[in-house]
Structure 1
């Protein structure tokens, strides 16, 4: 294996530190955003008088963001401050994505009031000021919703995904705009540029001089993922020279290198179309985080919004046509069994909070599994070609899963087994994603 590139990009990331951990590094804040400065920015862009008292209250924190709620005379808003994990491009692509969705679809998303993709302003961080959409996260009201509302919600999600499927773009990356989508009546032109994904910016990946889009082909997109994997392996191989050296690093590097080598031989078998860099592949806008937390519903369960569109990408149909995250991974435990609802709780069990919680979790899993089947049938009715891409693209998606999960030694047996089957010309008994979700022994 060739050595990874050594000439770094020198991307500034003030306020960010990647803290090592058992399950990988996680982003941490080395300084807190100034509430006073954030308040003044909100006041300015909401055009509030100086004598109006407003207060930013912390109400949520994501992997890369701190969110503050604002209640004022003009309504309710969210001021979101973000770590510079991918300076400028992460914020600008998210703002463009929301503008594109507002302009081209009827998917309910928050309106952007103002934003800054420059961490050198008064706040010292990138930020977005947006409306606070009404409703509750789907996770919070699931057990109060009727089955009819759950089916109606899935139908709406299908309809939204069909809209995105028919909005064909060109090239693989993320969306950017040449105008402000917050100006009423503005017809903004959107282009595909650098891809903003965690694989491309996690830890020191943002510093690596590896091409990150716009990609012309699936092959070049996968090649970039392989380049980052190569970098990670090389870093482990030279870990003995660093202060963070661990005696397990050598074994980790050997295991990852074995998978990397197999992938080099598997990729040409699955991505059989050669990269044509003069023509850009057709692509679709894809949000991989349509989750129980990001789907907002009313108290009765009616869909009111979908939030959190950061790291949304434009990818080929084989990648974009995936089951939404809140329904994914909930498969029957074998190819022949049908999901079964949990048994009703006894009167004694109803008095046990832990028993009730466990029962509710099992019931939710059963219902989501049933709704996954309903999603597939509804997609077959509304857009059968979407299902063709979903089924035919499984192996291609599994290649990216193998790359992304390569650092997790608990998955090595499954990954190697899947790769060996493909290399031997055998059809794997299960797709890699399905195998990872299937309980041991099934």
Structure 2
């Protein structure tokens, strides 16, 4: 059983023996355009929604240029077969075959030049070195654009299997529990091996935010604006840290941990027996404060738990016709129930492996609510709930929206 990209249509293939010319993007012989413009080749369009621009390629990489890049990076003496598989939002995916081994190459738009590629490579290496979670092994990469493709790329092992989202109903609950425990083991290691973020940097960022807020009043003055009456917003952070930096004293730090917010059913690959074969898509993984990172992985997140198994439609409607709608509702409720049971298994596993994670999860939920409020205060579908939450906090009363936390209810 192979990864789903094999089933998707592709746009041609090539090998080093094919007659297709090794076409590459047309760049200047002296100074490539991207040296003056790091985002050269990327265009943002917002025809449908001006607030949600969509990236587009203005230069199309070719399979011939991919072969040339492989010859340069791996070996000029090997025979390479390259197939264009599919296009993601920011990437083009290619299947690569050489030495009777299959790999995946991802060519990326310059959304965050260099840093995005190097961050993902470092993340995958950290996961490989510190956990038993099966993730793609990076074979080689180029975080520059000085290569035949003209874009950044990563070559990694091909993870066999199918997404759990495509076989959820055929995989047993026991297999799902085993996967949950494997993800919990990774979460425990991530918690135990925390990173450090200097508060001095955070203080400077907060100070910059306040300065920009002040400047905003000058760029967009209110009617009858009087600069002399303008309030001077002082940074709440003490200047002690600046003095410490000047004296060489070590700054205090904020503990952070690696957090992948996209361990979803689409990115969990399993084999025919439901055994975990790999977890893919480690782009844009961040190190977040513990209160934000100590939460359920994406495939276990839901607004409310359903602890009781829903009755099957034929028990409810013995004398009535079972409609497709009732079957769909039953399937949704049954999945919610299964996820609720898996959430309990995840929590029990974390209690055994990392009790500190559980304490952060329980006692810093208010901070997760505040973060969710900030992220959704301009969401037209959620701001009323955020308003009610803010009112309850201001009044010192309990927020009661069906016995759920704000950050969980906003998942619904």
Q: Does TM-score exceed 0.5, indicating one fold?
A: yes
How do 1:165-314 and structure 2 match up within 5 A? 165-171=191-197, 215-216=198-199, 220=203, 223=206, 278-314=251-287
Tell me which residue corresponds to 1:90: 116
Q: Which runs of 5+ in 1 are unaligned?
A: 1-9, 172-214, 239-263
1:68 and 1:163 map into 2 onto residues whose CA distance is 32
TM-score by length of structure 2 reads 0.73
CA RMSD of aligned residues (A): 3.8
Q: Confirm or deny that 1:49 pairs with 2:77.
A: yes
2:279 and 2:238 map into 1 onto residues whose CA distance is 35
Tell me which residue corresponds to 2:149: 123
- Distance apart, 1:373 and its partner CA: 2.2
Q: When the two structures are aligned, how many residues end up with a matched partner?
A: 350
Contact 1:331 1:437 in 2 (8 A): no
- Distance apart, 1:158 and its partner CA: 0.8
Q: Which protein shows a greater Rg?
A: 2
Q: Confirm or deny that 1:154 pairs with 2:199.
A: no
- Distance apart, 1:130 and its partner CA: 0.5
- Distance apart, 1:57 and its partner CA: 2.8
2:203 and 2:37 map into 1 onto residues whose CA distance is 23
Q: Confirm or deny that 1:77 pairs with 2:103.
A: yes
- Distance apart, 1:296 and its partner CA: 1.5
1:158-184, Cα deviation, whole Å (9 max, x unpaired): 11111111112211xxxxxxxxxxxxx
Do the aligned partners of residues 416 and 229 (structure 1) sit closer, same or farther apart at CA in structure 2, a change above 3 Å counting?
A: farther
2:327 and 2:212 map into 1 onto residues whose CA distance is 43
Do the aligned partners of residues 386 and 88 (structure 1) sit closer, same or farther apart at CA in structure 2, a change above 3 Å counting?
A: same
- Distance apart, 1:87 and its partner CA: 0.9
1:74-131, Cα deviation, whole Å (9 max, x unpaired): 3110010111111111101111111122222222211111111113433121110111
1:231-254, Cα deviation, whole Å (9 max, x unpaired): 9x99x979xxxxxxxxxxxxxxxx
Q: Which runs of 5+ in 2 are unaligned?
A: 1-35, 222-232, 243-250
- Distance apart, 1:404 and its partner CA: 2.3
Do the aligned partners of residues 224 and 368 (structure 1) sit closer, same or farther apart at CA in structure 2, a change above 3 Å counting?
A: farther
Tell me which residue corresponds to 2:64: 36
Question: Which structure would you say has the larger RCO, counting Cα contacts within 8 Å and 6 or more residues apart?
Answer: 1
Tell me which residue corresponds to 1:341: 310
Do the aligned partners of residues 424 and 222 (structure 1) sit closer, same or farther apart at CA in structure 2, a change above 3 Å counting?
A: farther
Q: Confirm or deny that 1:389 pairs with 2:368.
A: no
1:280 and 1:413 map into 2 onto residues whose CA distance is 35
Contact 2:291 2:360 in 1 (8 A): yes
Match of 2:374 among 392, 403, 413: 403
1:134-153, Cα deviation, whole Å (9 max, x unpaired): 21111122111111111111
Tell me which residue corresponds to 1:249: none
Do the aligned partners of residues 331 and 351 (structure 1) sit closer, same or farther apart at CA in structure 2, a change above 3 Å counting?
A: closer
Matched residue of 1:118: which SS?
A: coil
1:435 and 1:17 map into 2 onto residues whose CA distance is 35
Do the aligned partners of residues 380 and 403 (structure 1) sit closer, same or farther apart at CA in structure 2, a change above 3 Å counting?
A: same
Do the aligned partners of residues 276 and 349 (structure 1) sit closer, same or farther apart at CA in structure 2, a change above 3 Å counting?
A: farther
Matched residue of 2:266: which SS?
A: coil
Tell me which residue corresponds to 1:183: none
Contact 1:164 1:285 in 2 (8 A): yes
Tell me which residue corresponds to 2:8: none
Do the aligned partners of residues 273 and 298 (structure 1) sit closer, same or farther apart at CA in structure 2, a change above 3 Å counting?
A: farther
How do 1:350-365 and structure 2 match up within 5 A? 359-365=330-336
